[in-house]
Amino acid sequence: MTVPPANWRKSTHSSRETACVEVGRVGDGAAVRDTKDRAAGYFTADRAQWRTFVAAIKADRFA
């Protein structure tokens, strides 16, 4: 089992929004959770998966 991140962060671009996600470092990757439902848990991605996901966001592949 992965140890949950201690330092969750939310983008400064979403400071006034409530429908956001938070990201925390887990081992060699990242964990992601919903700010509205933190009790629902989180999912993790290893470094390669996280880099691929971030690159896809930057390339606007989810629009």
Look at residue 50 and tell me whether its pLDDT is greater than 70: yes
Q: For position 49, what pLDDT does the model report?
A: 95
Q: For position 59, what pLDDT does the model report?
A: 94
Please state the domain extents for the chain: 12-58
Look at residue 24 and tell me whether its pLDDT is greater than 90: yes
Beta strands in 1-63 (DSSP E): 21-26, 29-34, 43-46
Average pLDDT for residues 33-42, to the nearest whole number? 89
Split at pLDDT 50, 70, 90, the class of 46 is very high
Look at residue 14 and tell me whether its pLDDT is greater than 80: no
Q: For position 2, what pLDDT does the model report?
A: 61
Spatial CA neighbour of 43 closest among 28, 31, 51, 34: 31
